[in-house]
Structure 1
Amino acid sequence: MPDMDEDEARRRFMAARVARLATVDTEGRPHLVPVVFARHGAEVVTAVDWKPKRSPRLKRLRNIAAHPAVCLLVDAYDEDWDRLWWVRADGRARILPPDAPEPRVREEYAAVLAVLREKYAPYRQRPPGGPVIAITVHRWHGWRAAPGADPTG
Structure 2
Amino acid sequence: MDEAAARARLAAARVARLATVGDDGRPHVVPITFAVEDDLVFTAVDHKPKSTRRLQRLRNIARNPRVALLADEYVDDWTRLWWVRADGVATVVEDAERMRHPIDALVARYPQYREHRPEGPVIVIRVDAWSGWAGTGHPPIVSAV
C-alpha root-mean-square deviation of aligned residues, in Å?
A: 1.4
Match of 1:116 among 84, 106, 111: 106
Deviation at 1:95, TM superposition (A): 0.4
Q: Which runs of 5+ in 2 are unaligned?
A: none
The ranges of structure 1 where at least 4 consecutive aligned residues each deviate by more than 3 angstroms after the TM superposition are none
Match of 2:53 among 52, 56, 59: 56
Tell me the equivalent position of 1:96.
93
Q: TM-score, normalised by structure 2?
A: 0.93
Is the contact made by 2:46 and 2:120 (CA closer than 8 Å) also made in structure 1? yes
What percent identity do the matched residue pairs reach? 51
Q: Which runs of 5+ in 1 are unaligned?
A: 101-105
SS of the residue aligned with 1:60?
A: helix
Structure 1: distance between partners of 2:36 and 2:76: 30
Tell me the equivalent position of 1:150.
140
Match of 1:32 among 24, 29, 34: 29
Larger radius of gyration: 1
Tell me the equivalent position of 1:138.
128
Structure 1: distance between partners of 2:110 and 2:142: 17
Q: Structure 1 residues 150, 133: closer, same or farther in 2, change over 3 A? A: same
Structure 1: distance between partners of 2:40 and 2:104: 14
Deviation sequence 1:77-135 (CA, Å, 0-9, x none)? 111000001000000000001xx3xxxxx333111111100000010000001200000
Deviation sequence 1:18-73 (CA, Å, 0-9, x none)? 00000000110000000000024531000000101122220000000000000000
Structure 2: distance between partners of 1:40 and 1:46: 12
The one-letter code matched in structure 2 to 1:9 is A
Is the contact made by 1:15 and 1:152 (CA closer than 8 Å) also made in structure 2? no
SS of the residue aligned with 1:117?
A: helix
